[in-house]
């Protein structure tokens, strides 16, 4: 856990993007959540670099950055991501931008992760089974930056 990864002004900035409906696509799990690719957005470069510095050296230019938005009813079932990129490990930092009022809990290897607003979690999604429980009330928004090492 990385406490205070985001500042209050970071949260305000990201939520403005999260409130915009343009550019969002359905997540690959097909369980309702949406993603917005922000790697190439200049306004996100400082946040992305902060995450990359935490993640450490990465393979060539293979990293990504997304906002992830969960509305009521959205979830992600337990799974491990494929890291099928030249046999490299997948390393990710997810930063909490908006916490659901009910539901939307992160579990890694079956254990609930206390994941407060502004904090970030650092994990290996190709090695650790992870899931997000169904959002019952409110919404959950993350900044997610990953790389391959």
User: What's the mean per-residue pLDDT of the chain?
Assistant: 93
Can you list the domains of the chain with their CATH numbers?
8-148 (2.60.120.10)
63's tokens = 């990293």
Q: What angle do CA 134, 135, 141 make, to 5 degrees?
A: 120
Q: Give me the residues paired with residue 91 across strands.
A: 147
Burial of 141 (0-12, 13-18, 19+ CB in 10 A): buried
| Residue range 81-103, pLDDT digits in tens | 877 666 788 899 999 999 999 99
| Residue range 10-55, pLDDT digits in tens | 999 999 999 998 999 998 878 889 999 999 999 999 999 999 999 9
């Amino acid at each position: 856990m990385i406490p205070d990864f985001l500042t209050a002004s970071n949260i305000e900035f990201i939520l403005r993007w999260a409130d915009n409906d343009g550019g969002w696509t359905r997540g690959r799990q097909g369980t309702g959540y949406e993603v917005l690719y922000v790697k190439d957005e200049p306004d996100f470069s400082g946040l992305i670099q902060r995450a990359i510095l935490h993640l450490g050296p990465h393979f060539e230019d293979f990293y990504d950055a997304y906002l992830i938005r969960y509305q009521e009813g959205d979830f992600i079932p337990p799974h491990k991501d494929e890291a099928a990129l030249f046999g490299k490990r997948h390393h990710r930092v997810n930063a909490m931008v908006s916490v659901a009022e009910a539901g939307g809990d992160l579990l890694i290897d079956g254990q609930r992760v206390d994941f407060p607003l502004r904090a970030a979690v650092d994990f290996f999604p190709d090695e650790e089974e992870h899931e997000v429980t169904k959002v019952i009330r409110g919404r959950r928004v993350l900044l997610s930056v990953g790389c391959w090492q």
